[in-house]
Amino acid sequence: MLKALLVLKTLYTQPMLERGILASTAFYASYAHKEDHIEKYYNATDQVFAIFAAAIREGNPEKLLKGSVSHSGFKRLT
């Protein structure tokens, strides 16, 4: 179950990065965010959620990943 969640987290993060947004599973709004920032984020998430939905319908979201699955926690990676 944890691996499936990490696959989905990665499937969200990778295409968001391609759209110029460093995103994770949390969003922290700030007064520094201007309307155009929010609009860019909204449009990107709309596109990425469409990718998400298609991947889940097909039953294998991991095949869409371009890199490795994200890690959980701070354990040693080697």
Would you kindly state where each structural domain of the chain is located, as residue ranges?
32-63
- 16-46 tens-digit pLDDT: 999 999 988 788 888 898 999 989 999 999 9
SS3 for the chain, per residue?
CHHHHHHHHHHHHHHHHHCCCCCCCCCCCCCCCCHHHHHHHHHHHHHHHHHHHHHHHHCCHHHHCCCCCCCCCCCCCC
CA nearest to 61, candidates 52, 49, 72: 52
Count CB atoms within 10 A of the CB of residue 1.
5
Residue 70: pLDDT over 80: no
pLDDT at 76: 63
